[in-house]
Amino acid sequence: MRCTQRRSQQRIKRLAWLGLACVPLAALALSAISLSANQAEAGAQPLSLVFLNNVPSAVSFNDGDSFKIIRGSPKGTNARLAGFNTLESHGPVHQWGDWTFKELYVNAKTATLNARRGVWHCSSDMDTDSYGRILWICPDLAEDQVRKGLAHAMSVTEEPAPPRIVAAMHEAILARRGMWAKGVPTYVMTSIHSADEAGARPGRTSNRLVNTVDGHSKKWVHNIAFKECEVVCHQAVELPQKDALALASQLRQDPEIAPMISGIPDILVALSINTFVQHGLAPKIFGAHQEKFTATLETLKAEGRFNAARKIQASCGIHVEFQRRYMRPKPACLTWN
């Protein structure tokens, strides 16, 4: 009798567990059905589930750091995601180190697929950027893309990107993941603007450069009119990276300087040195030693320790005016031949 009661109790427990287990599965199934219906409604666009200000919404990622809201609020609006940047996916237009343009194009397309396959959480105060896109903050997506080497940390000002995203970028750089596998430039050129574009003003045209140490942005201001499909390279004045790495190793042997860079790998110290060589500032990764390390770099400059700096071809891009990127026929440089 007791055995029968015990078996009955165990059976009830199993049934209760199965009932509870079915709840998330049912919810997941409903989400999948909802997304499938949305895809049919949206003309078979690949849709992803994103929680926008805690509201589940169906969105379509057109690249790894922007999407359009298909089902949700405000429906039909375009989003730009803050704190990080994936490479342009309209064509093979990025190059640095030993990468080819086509290889980094694959990286950009992989970032798009990675965004589409996840479930993310974003928040916004509904402010817009210069293109009218609503700015959203999606920490889980940003960290995932950056940690996999499919994106880099980015701030649109000279202030650093969010610490969580910067830390993920450092991890990816040290592991040589994704876009960092064949070299790390001091700055990545993320946008190119020609001086003859509509609305351009003399002395105000600029290309954006994003630092690979803390994600801050600098403007390359110019008056150059670029031709369609022209290869544009940031000509940076800096130490050859092997020299910067050697100097970082030497600084680690100095008892006064060593505490300032303790725990910071040589590659990040070297990139920080070249950030200073280029722009006279140190990336903000040195914590309480920030001012002292900047002063140290000033002293090294005065001592002539940066005299070996020379002009190098750093990050490059192919210029195609924004509207032309999506017209047919596409410019030859944006096709895969």
What does 60-89 look like in DSSP terms, one character per residue? EEEETTEEEEEESTTTT-EEEESSEEPPP-
What is the torsion angle, in degrees rounded to the nearest 10, for the CA atoms of residue 214, residue 219, residue 220 and residue 225?
140
Q: Quick one: which H or E segment has residue 245? A: helix 241-252
Closest to 204 (Cα-Cα) out of 223, 191, 218, 190 = 223
Closest to 211 (Cα-Cα) out of 186, 179, 184, 190 = 186
Tokens representing 80 are 């730009």
* 335 contacts 318 by C-beta, under 8 angstroms: no
Burial of 14: CB neighbours in 10 Å, binned 0-12, 13-18, 19+: exposed
The predicted pLDDT at position 170 comes to 98
* 124 contacts 134 by C-beta, under 8 angstroms: yes
* 94 contacts 105 by C-beta, under 8 angstroms: yes
* CA pair distance 180, 187, nearest whole angstrom: 12
The predicted pLDDT at position 305 comes to 97
* CA pair distance 284, 281, nearest whole angstrom: 9
How far CA 54 is from CA of 42, 46, 116, 134, in Å, comes to: 22, 21, 18, 16
The predicted pLDDT at position 44 comes to 65
What is the torsion angle, in degrees rounded to the nearest 10, for the CA atoms of residue 84, residue 269, residue 106 and residue 31?
-40
Q: Quick one: which H or E segment has residue 316? A: strand 310-319
> Can you give 52-63 as a three-state secondary structure string?
ECCEEEEEEEEE
Low-confidence ranges of the chain (pLDDT < 70): 1-44
Chain segment 165-214, per-residue pLDDT in tens: 999 999 999 999 999 999 999 999 999 999 998 777 777 899 999 999 99
Residues 6+ apart with CB under 8 A from 226: 192, 194, 195, 232, 319
Give the SS3 label for residue 35.
Answer: helix
229: region left, alpha or beta (phi > 0 left; psi from -120 to 50 alpha) = left
